[in-house]
């Protein structure tokens, strides 16, 4: 077997799998979205139906809030952990990054343990604090799986930051605050954009957490799920899936052109 033949043969399993289980199903999904009475107008319908539009806005707002919060918190912690060496740092780092691959359902359950009817907060202050099933619960759940992702990206970027830049700024008399604003944040900017986009896209598509919290707030993945299983409105479920897929993919694609890698998705 010649060299060229061998290399081509190496791609065959991937090509067959990707065609059968990715390309064709996606084509089918797009096609299915047009198979209601509305035809391709269904995408217009999404924007005209208050329930869907509201869901869309809700999802975008929650995801945006989560990404911003995760960016602020994880950048603070990431800078702290990257710049300081102390006993227990390794342990702290593990605690902050291990939830990376916890599935969304488990995170939903953890939020219930914190803020559910029998949760920690309600036990400490009985009758007052139940937030798991509200927007707050959803927000905290999404924050839970966003923080490790953003933290890992930020820490990788901090380590690549040239310490000489900071030292140069210091020799020029810059205050610590000015150094953060003028040197560190601009240096981290591409990674922060990328990390923010990953957090946003993951939150947009997160299903497990919302599912476990059985929240009464409609987010896009939950609506897709109910349209498909309960209403059997397959065309609408497909159209919403296509919309969700296109938005998250486009966002990540743009973000990746700012900075190299994506951290394990999931949730």
Partner 1 sequence: MKRSLAWWLQGAVTLVIAAFLLVPAVQSILAGVTVNYFRGLSSGLTLKWIERVWELYSASIFLSLWLAIACLAVTLVIGVPAAYALARNPGRLSRMLEEFISLPLAIPGLALALALLQLYGTLSGFRTSWTFILVGHVLYTLPFMVRSVLAVLMAMDFRSLEESAATLGASAFTRFRTVIVPNAMPGILAGALTVVTLSIGEFNLTWMLHTPYLKTLPVGLADSYASMRLEVASAYTLVFFAMIVPLLMAMQWASARAQRIAQ
Segment 102-161, which members bind partner 1 (CB under 8 A)? 102-106, 108-114, 118, 120, 140, 143-144, 147-148
Closest to 208 measured CA to CA, from 104, 111, 138: 104
Q: Which of residues 170-199 bind partner 1 (CB under 8 A)?
A: 176-177
* Residue 213: alpha-carbon gap to chain centroid: 17
Q: Which stretch binds partner 1 (CB under 8 A): 38-46, 48-56, 165-173, 249-257?
A: 249-257
Q: Determine how many CB atoms are found less than 10 A away from the CB of residue 1.
A: 7
Residues between 66 and 85 with contacts to partner 1, criterion CB under 8 A? 73-74, 76-77, 79-81, 84
> Judged by CB under 8 A, does residue 164 bind partner 1?
no
Spatial distance between the Cα atoms of 27 and 182, rounded to a whole number of angstroms: 47
Contact (Cβ atoms closer than 8 angstroms) between residue 205 and residue 221: yes
Size of the site for partner 1 (CB under 8 A): 91
Instruction: Considering only the stretches 20-28, 45-53, 162-170, 182-190, report the one whose residues sit in contact with partner 1 under the rule CB under 8 A.
Output: 20-28
Candidate segments 28-36, 38-46, 47-55, 60-68, binder of partner 1 by CB under 8 A: 28-36
Q: Which residues of 132-154 are buried (b: 16+ CB within 10 A; e: fewer)?
A: bbebebbbbbbbbbbbbbbbbbb
Instruction: Please identify, using beta-carbon distances, which residue of 5 and 48 lies nearer to partner 1.
Output: 5
87 touches partner 1 by CB under 8 A: no
DSSP string spanning 68-134? Answer: HHHHHHHHHHHHHHHH---TTHHHHHHHHHGGGG--HHHHHHHHHHHHSTTSHHHHHSTTT---TTS
In the complex, the smallest distance separating the C-beta of residue 28 from partner 1, rounded to whole angstroms, is: 4
14 touches partner 1 (CB under 8 A): yes
Query: Which one, 10 or 164, has the nearer CB to partner 1?
Result: 10
Q: Is 55 a residue that touches partner 1 (CB under 8 A)?
A: no
What is the distance between the alpha carbons of residues 244 and 247, in angstroms, rounded to a whole number?
Answer: 5
Could you tell me the smallest distance in angstroms from the CB atom of residue 2 to partner 1? Answer: 7
Nearer to partner 1, 26 or 44 (CB): 26
Residue span binding partner 1 (CB under 8 A) among the ranges 36-44, 49-57, 60-68, 257-265: 257-265
Nearer to partner 1, 40 or 249 (CB): 249
Q: Which H or E element spans position 238?
A: helix 234-258
- For residue 90, state whether it binds partner 1 (rule: CB under 8 A): no
Angle of CA points 52, 53, 57, to nearest 5°: 115
């Amino acid at each position: 077997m010649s060299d060229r033949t061998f290399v081509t043969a190496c791609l065959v399993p991937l090509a067959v799998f990707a065609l059968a289980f990715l390309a064709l199903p996606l084509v089918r999904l797009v096609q299915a979205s047009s198979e209601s009475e509305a035809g391709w107008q269904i995408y217009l319908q999404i924007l005209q139906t208050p329930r869907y539009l509201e869901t869309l806005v809700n999802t975008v707002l929650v995801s945006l809030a989560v990404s911003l919060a995760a960016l602020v918190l994880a950048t603070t912690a990431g800078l702290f952990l990257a710049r300081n060496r102390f006993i227990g740092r390794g342990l702290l780092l593990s605690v902050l990054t291990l939830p990376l691959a916890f599935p969304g359902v488990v995170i939903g359950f953890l939020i219930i343990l914190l803020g559910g009817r029998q949760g920690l907060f309600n036990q400490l202050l009985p009758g007052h604090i139940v937030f798991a099933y509200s927007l707050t619960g959803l927000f905290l759940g999404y924050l839970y799986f966003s923080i490790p992702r953003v933290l890992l990206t930020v820490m990788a970027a901090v380590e690549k930051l040239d310490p000489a830049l900071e030292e140069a700024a210091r020799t020029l008399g810059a205050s610590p605050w000015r150094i953060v604003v003028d040197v560190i944040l601009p240096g981290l900017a591409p990674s922060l954009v990328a990390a923010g986009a990953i957090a946003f896209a993951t939150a947009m598509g997160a299903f497990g957490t919302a599912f476990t919290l059985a929240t009464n707030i409609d987010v896009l993945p939950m609506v897709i799920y109910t349209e498909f299983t309960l209403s059997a409105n397959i065309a609408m479920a497909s159209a919403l899936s296509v919309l969700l897929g296109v938005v998250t993919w486009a966002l990540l694609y743009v973000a990746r052109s700012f900075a190299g890698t994506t951290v394990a998705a999931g949730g």
